[in-house]
Amino acid sequence: MWYCYKEEIMKITLKTIITGFFAMLLIIGFSGNGNSIEKEKVPIAPLEKKLPSMQPSPGQRVSPPITDGGGDEMYNPGVDLVVSKVEMQRGIFMGAQKIRIITTIKNMWRGSTSTRIKIMFYTLDMAEWIEGGIGPNEEIRAGAIYVNDPTGTRALNFSVMVDNNNEIPENNDMNHRCDNINLSSSETNKVYNCPIIGPHEPLI
């Protein structure tokens, strides 16, 4: 009887040990799965801060880029137009007695323009144009105008002004005019050299 009782205690003890062992395995298993799940989590990237736009608003004024002169956009230093001389000659032109007047225009600076250049003759109420503009330090002899001179003794006194309406941007708009050009009744040919007034400076 004692032997049976002892055998029963050993069975209970062994059963308790086995149950505890399986319980421990189950706890370890769940703990491992939890760690695995935790490891498989993908970290969430932090939200990127949106930088303020560098584009100017419609009300802002943007300065133009400064070119280095090595590309197609070359700096134009400007032009300075003056009347350098006026030629007058009596004769028969287009079958009638007339006075032919030819004006020479000069660009006193290093810039250029392709704009049509107007030449105004005051008191004569006439005008002439130079087509195609003018280059740096260039001098151009314009086309002729003709004044009727039926007796061959007409005296002239007039002024010539280049770009009289200031249509061309220039360094100096105060030296366009050549005044007191005259041809007496006894003169048949004359070249009037106009005084050229400065300053001749870069376009600002």
Q: What is the pLDDT of residues 154-193, one digit of tens each?
A: 999 999 999 999 999 998 899 999 999 999 999 999 999 9
> Are both 109 and 188 inside the same structural domain?
yes
User: Residue 135 belongs to a domain with what CATH number?
Assistant: 2.60.40
In a domain, 50, yes or no: no
Q: How many CB atoms lie within 10 A of CB 73?
A: 12
Q: pTM higher than 0.85 for the full model?
A: no
Q: How many domains does the chain have?
A: 2
Mean pLDDT of all residues in 125-146: 96
Strand order in the sheet with 139-148: 139-148, 96-107, 81-93, 189-193
Q: Is 132 within 8 Å of 105 (Cβ atoms)?
A: no
- Position 199 confidence tier, pLDDT thresholds 50, 70, 90: confident
In a domain, 67, yes or no: no
Tell the residue number behind the tokens 């584009």, with chain if given. Answer: 55
Please report, rounded to a whole number, the percentage of residues in the chain having pLDDT higher than 70.
Answer: 62
> Are both 86 and 27 inside the same structural domain?
no
* pLDDT score of 66: 32
> Are both 112 and 185 inside the same structural domain?
yes
> Are both 30 and 119 inside the same structural domain?
no
pLDDT per position as a tens digit, 72-86: 445 567 899 999 999
For the chain, strand residue ranges (E) read 81-93, 96-107, 117-122, 126-130, 139-148, 156-162, 177-183, 189-193
Tell the residue number behind the tokens 């008191």, with chain if given. Answer: 123
- CA–CA distance, 181 with 191 (Å, rounded to integer): 10
> Are both 129 and 32 inside the same structural domain?
no
**Cα distances (angstroms) measured from residue 68 to each of 44, 62, 74, 172:** 48, 19, 8, 26
In a domain, 200, yes or no: no
> Are both 178 and 100 inside the same structural domain?
yes
pLDDT per position as a tens digit, 80-117: 999 999 999 999 999 999 999 999 999 999 999 999 99
In a domain, 159, yes or no: yes
Strands 156-162 and 189-193 come out as unpaired
Determine the structural domain holding residue 181 and report its residue range.
81-193
**Residue 203 pLDDT greater than 60, yes or no:** no
In a domain, 143, yes or no: yes
> Are both 30 and 89 inside the same structural domain?
no
